[in-house]
């Protein structure tokens, strides 16, 4: 995985629902650790800090929001699991356009929802 990558990940409990996720920090600058955020249509859950619209990514078809509350720190060990699941419960998607990636990263830097310990990776 690298900065700007996007993927669909099936989520519990039944792994029958996919969420669009983005890599928003550079693993090569952080000893292989990076931050992943996901997208939701639930503006109340997401807090409306970073809205996305149709066209911001090919998978987005309606107004959506980055959910900084659900941000995940992916260590090199966890990244191996992601790589192993690629194509099954995790499906690669087109990467983010640079302008949209910048928008998300800047919103993450000022977000009150993302864990403060994750901001060092941004």
pTM: 0.89
What is the phi/psi pair of residue 14, to 5°? -105, -5
Q: What percent of the chain has pLDDT over 70?
A: 89
pLDDT of residue 17: 76
Which carries the bigger pLDDT value, residue 103 or residue 11?
A: 103
The CATH code that applies to domain 6-116 is: 2.30.30
pLDDT in tens, 78-94: 887 776 566 566 788 99
Q: Mean pLDDT for the chain?
A: 89
Q: Provide the residue ranges of all domains of the chain, joining segments of one domain with +.
A: 6-116
- DSSP string of 32-87? T-EEEEEEES-HHHHTTSSEE-TTSSTT--S-EEEEEEEEEEE-HHHHHHHHHHBT
């Amino acid at each position: 995985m690298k900065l700007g990558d996007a993927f669909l990940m099936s989520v519990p409990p039944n792994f029958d629902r996919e969420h669009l996720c983005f890599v928003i920090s550079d693993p090569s600058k952080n000893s292989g650790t990076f931050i992943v955020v996901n997208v939701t249509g639930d503006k109340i859950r997401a807090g409306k800090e970073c809205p996305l619209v149709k066209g911001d990514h090919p998978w987005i078809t309606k107004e959506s929001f980055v959910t900084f509350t659900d941000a995940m720190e992916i260590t090199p060990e966890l990244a191996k699991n992601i790589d192993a699941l690629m194509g099954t419960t995790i499906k690669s998607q087109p990467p983010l356009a640079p302008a949209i990636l910048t928008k998300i990263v800047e919103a993450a830097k000022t977000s009150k929802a993302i864990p403060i310990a994750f901001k060092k990776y941004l």
